[in-house]
Every structure is written in structure tokens, then in C-alpha cells.
């Protein structure tokens, strides 16, 4: 077995080196970012085929040792070391003169290699299946191009009705996504019922502008006397002033609070208002202040409902981290902001579905209050797939898709995926 290491500045460059050296049937064992670029460990197709035999013993080559454990190359090359692969049998290295600590290190490397091999073998089986079912491969490419995660895409593709064409498969996918995208349906949830709503989220997601849009809608429905505005943003320069200007235009006074005690007093004084909107200070999802902010809002004495503002231009990984951090003891829902700036919105919809967030509004501009709309599931799903044409330079080729899908095997057990409603 001869494992080769390839390094380039980009994934595509590294993959080109792999194909040039090992051919199109090469097996990718790992793909990781290193200083200055991307490193790929690969195996020739014939070497991988040999692993499928019941029991095979090979002498570890010097290049494999160089890839796995460079500092043990000389010690192991002079020993009768063998690598055995058997169904259900752990990999073993037979040698007598390496001390236990060094042997343990080598064994750890080899166990890691076995895990990569198992993942790659599973991916080869998946790739072969989708060669036999080109319609599923076509739908998969559409989902990835729209920004949906590889794990959610694979989860749905594997459950797509057998024999479906690409067109019917796309309709099935859209229906499943629409069914799992929870929305409020109409504005009465806020405008008629009223209550205390706090807009939360990281810095720069548009909380203050969105607060002003909601405030304008409330004033248009019930008049300025039924609305109160509160800001906890005493950190950002001009934060209070920006909301105060909006409040002055609407004829609504803005109250500034610093802590839970101030907020409790303000809410007691304003309890006669139909609707109270709280504009909070932006906090990074990794900041300890997130939990402090949640504690302040939940401990204020009134039933404060938190609405998380999610920036549609952020990556799925970032949005998922934000949602998890701000979840606390539960969110009333979320608002997608900056839809007009997003090249794709699949990743945002992916996170809303995974985290089972109730989507209240979507915002697509700075105009107050025009650029705020009640979320419509079917429109958003259709828009996600229509926007994909803007990402053509970044879409994956047929050769690159197996690399993208290689790390999804473990994600198939994600609880958020298992709870997706299919029927």
C-alpha cells in the first residue's frame, strides 16, 4: 500500500496533482488545510482495490511511512513490519524492538488511517450508487449550488423516491424543504397579539433597522401611543441615537437601560403598552455576554420573547453556531436579514430547518418599513434554487463532489437531520 501526499495552494490544485500522479481512479484518504494551502493524502485505485481482498499482507512502503509517521521511518524500515487488513480485524504492526510509547504512537496513526479508509470505502459505494442513478446526482448538484449543506443534501437525496427523474426529484426536495420551514403565516402573531419582543444577534446583522421596521408597522396598525421602544445598546457609538431618530420620526419615546434592574423598572412602567420592542447590543456568538444577555432578558419579570436576527450572507457554519449560542432556554423565532445581499440563501434556510426556528420575517433592504416581509416558505425555497446561477464560478465539478461528500458519513446521525419530516 503506497500512500502519497500532495500539497497545493487550493483544493482544486491539490486534486489536479492527485489525478496527474495517480489517475482518475485515485482514492482520497484525507483532505485538510495546512499552512500555505491544502494537503491531500491519496491512494492509487489499484491499491484500494487490493484492500477489498479477505486478508492481505503488505510490507509498509517508505512513502507510506513518510506520510504517516516520518520519525519512525528508519526504525520500521529495518523491521519485518506488516500491515494486515481483515474484515472486522484491527490493523496490526508486528515489530519487537520499538518501545511501547513509540509503538502506541504508530498504532494511533494506523488506527486513524483505518478510519479514513473506512470513510473512503463508504464514499466509494455512495459514488457508485449515484453513477447508477444520475437523477439523484443532478438533484444533489442543485442543492449544493443553492447553498444547502452537504449533510442535509445527502440525507434527503438518499431518501428521494426510487426511479424519480431529476425534475420530479427537485419537486420532491422542494416540498420537503417547504414542509420543514416553519413560519408564522401572518403578522397577527406580533401586530395583533402584541407583547414584549427583544431582537438579539451578533453585531451588524441589522437589529436596530429591523426594530425600526417593526415599530413602524405597529404604529401604522395601532398608533404611536400603543408602542414603546427600549434599547440596551449602551456600548456602540451612536447606537442609542440611531434608534432615537427612528423613534422621533414615529412619535415614540426611546428608553435606554443598562442592566436587568433597569429593564425590570422600564417594563413595569410601560406595562400598559400594547407592544414593547427591545433593541439589544450586538454580541459575538462566542462571547460570554451572550449568556448574560439571555439571563437579563429572561429575568426581567415580563414575558420577553426573543427574536434572533440571522444574516443571510453568513456561511451555514457561522449561522448554525449563532443559533446554538443564542438558543438559551428557547427562542420565539428568528428574522432573516440582508436577503438582498446574499448570493445564496440555502445555508440560511438549512439552519432554520435544522434548529427548528420559527421564521417570522425576512428583510431585504434598508427602507423602513417597506423592506420587511412576512416569511413565505414556498417563495423562499424557490428563491434559494433560482439564486444558484449567481454562484456558477464556485459550483463543484463532478470530480470534486466526492471530496465534498467524503465527510458527511458521520453527520448522517445528527439529531437535527433525523427530525426532518419526510412524509
Give me the phi and psi of 198, to 5 degrees please.
-115, 125
Mean pLDDT, residues 32-45 taken together? 79
Strand partners, 276: 196, 228
Distance CA 293, CA 167 (A): 47
For the chain, report the end-to-end CA distance as a whole number of angstroms. Answer: 46
pLDDT digits (tens, 9 = 90+) for 207-258: 999 999 999 999 999 999 999 999 987 666 566 778 888 899 999 999 989 8
Distance CA 148, CA 324 (A): 18
**Scanning the structure block, which residue is given the C-alpha cell 406595562?**
271
pLDDT at 405 over 70: no
- pLDDT of res. 53: 43
Mean pLDDT of the chain: 79
Instruction: Name which of 52, 49, 46, 110 is nearest 81 in CA terms.
Output: 110
pLDDT at 259 over 90: no
Cβ atoms 78, 90 nearer than 8 A: no
Distance CA 135, CA 139 (A): 6
Cell, residue 394: 464556485
In 109-203 the beta strands, taken as DSSP E runs, fall at 195-200
Q: Containing H/E element for 55?
A: strand 55-59
Higher-confidence residue of 106 and 262: namely 262
Give, in order, the Cα–Cα distances in Å from 419 to each of 139, 169, 258, 353, 411.
Answer: 21, 21, 40, 10, 13
Measured at the CA of 173, the angle between CA 169 and CA 175, to 5 degrees, comes to 115
68-77, 107-116, 265-274: which has the minimum mean pLDDT? 68-77
pLDDT at 393 over 60: no
116-120, 242-246, 350-354, 355-359: which has the minimum mean pLDDT? 116-120
Distance CA 255, CA 228 (A): 8
Q: Containing H/E element for 410?
A: none
Distance CA 398, CA 409 (A): 19
Give, in order, the Cα–Cα distances in Å from 295 to each of 255, 289, 304, 310, 324.
Answer: 20, 10, 11, 20, 16
pTM of the model: 0.67
Strand partners, 38: 8, 33
Cell, residue 146: 443553492
Distance CA 73, CA 63 (A): 9
Percent of the chain with pLDDT over 90: 35
Cell, residue 43: 491512494
Rounded to 10 deg, the angle between the 150-157 and 134-145 helix axes is 150
Cβ atoms 360, 193 nearer than 8 A: no
**Scanning the structure block, which residue is given the C-alpha cell 437523477?**
135
208-217, 302-311, 335-344, 405-414: which has the minimum mean pLDDT? 405-414
Has domain 188-374 been given CATH number 3.40.190.10?
no
* Domain range list for the chain: 3-132, 188-374
> Dihedral, CA atoms, 35, 4, 65, 79, nearest 10 degrees?
-170
- pLDDT of res. 97: 47
Would you call the peptide bond into 369 cis, given omega within 30 degrees of 0 as the criterion? yes
Strand partners, 256: 231
- pLDDT of res. 150: 87
Within 10 angstroms of residue 115's Cβ, the number of other Cβ atoms is 13
Instruction: Name which of 380, 328, 372 is nearest 352 in CA terms.
Output: 380
Coil vs helix vs strand at 98: coil
Distance CA 304, CA 86 (A): 60
Distance of CA 26 to the CA centre of its chain: 29
Distance CA 6, CA 17 (A): 7
Amino acid at each position: 500500500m503506497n500512500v502519497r501526499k500532495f500539497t497545493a495552494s487550493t483544493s482544486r490544485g491539490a486534486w489536479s496533482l492527485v489525478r496527474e500522479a495517480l489517475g482518475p481512479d485515485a482514492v482520497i484518504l484525507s483532505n485538510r488545510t495546512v499552512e500555505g494551502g491544502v494537503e491531500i493524502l491519496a491512494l492509487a485505485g489499484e491499491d484500494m482495490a487490493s484492500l477489498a481482498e479477505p486478508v492481505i499482507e503488505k510490507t509498509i512502503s517508505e512513502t507510506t511511512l513518510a506520510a504517516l509517521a516520518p520519525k519512525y521511518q528508519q526504525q520500521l524500515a529495518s523491521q519485518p513490519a506488516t500491515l494486515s487488513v481483515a474484515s472486522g480485524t484491527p490493523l496490526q504492526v508486528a515489530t519487537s524492538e520499538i518501545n511501547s510509547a513509540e509503538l502506541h504512537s504508530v498504532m494511533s496513526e494506523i488506527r486513524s488511517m483505518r478510519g479514513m479508509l473506512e470513510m473512503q470505502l463508504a464514499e466509494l459505494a455512495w459514488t457508485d450508487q449515484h453513477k447508477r442513478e444520475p437523477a439523484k446526482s443532478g438533484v444533489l448538484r442543485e442543492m449544493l449550488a443553492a447553498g444547502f449543506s452537504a449533510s442535509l443534501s445527502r440525507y434527503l437525496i438518499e431518501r428521494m423516491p426510487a426511479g424519480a427523474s431529476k425534475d420530479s426529484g427537485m419537486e420532491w426536495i422542494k416540498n420537503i424543504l417547504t414542509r420543514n420551514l416553519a413560519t408564522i403565516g401572518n403578522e397577527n402573531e406580533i401586530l395583533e397579539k402584541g407583547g414584549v419582543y427583544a431582537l438579539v444577534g451578533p453585531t451588524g446583522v441589522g437589529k436596530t433597522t429591523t426594530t425600526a421596521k417593526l415599530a413602524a408597522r405597529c404604529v401604522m396598525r395601532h398608533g404611536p401611543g400603543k408602542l414603546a421602544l427600549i434599547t440596551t445598546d449602551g456600548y456602540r457609538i451612536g447606537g442609542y441615537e440611531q434608534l432615537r431618530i427612528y423613534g422621533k420620526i414615529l412619535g415614540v419615546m426611546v428608553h435606554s437601560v443598562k442592566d436587568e434592574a433597569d429593564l425590570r423598572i422600564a417594563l413595569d412602567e410601560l406595562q400598559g403598552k400594547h407592544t414593547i420592542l427591545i433593541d439589544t447590543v450586538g454580541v459575538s456568538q462566542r462571547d460570554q455576554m451572550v449568556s448574560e444577555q439571555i439571563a437579563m432578558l429572561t429575568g426581567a419579570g415580563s414575558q420577553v420573547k426573543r427574536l434572533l436576527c440571522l444574516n443571510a450572507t453568513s456561511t451555514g457554519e457561522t449561522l448554525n453556531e449563532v443559533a446554538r449560542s443564542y438558543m438559551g432556554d428557547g427562542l420565539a423565532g428568528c428574522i432573516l436579514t440582508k436577503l438582498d445581499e446574499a448570493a445564496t440563501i440555502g445555508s440560511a434556510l438549512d439552519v432554520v430547518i435544522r434548529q427548528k426556528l420559527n421564521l417570522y420575517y425576512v428583510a431585504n433592504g434598508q427602507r423602513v418599513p417597506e423592506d420587511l416581509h412576512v416569511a413565505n416558505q414556498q417563495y423562499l425555497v424557490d428563491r434559494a434554487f433560482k439564486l444558484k446561477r449567481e454562484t456558477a464560478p464556485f459550483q463543484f465539478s463532478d470530480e470534486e463532489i466526492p471530496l465534498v461528500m467524503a465527510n458527511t458519513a458521520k453527520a448522517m446521525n445528527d439529531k437535527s437531520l433525523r427530525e426532518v419530516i419526510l412524509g
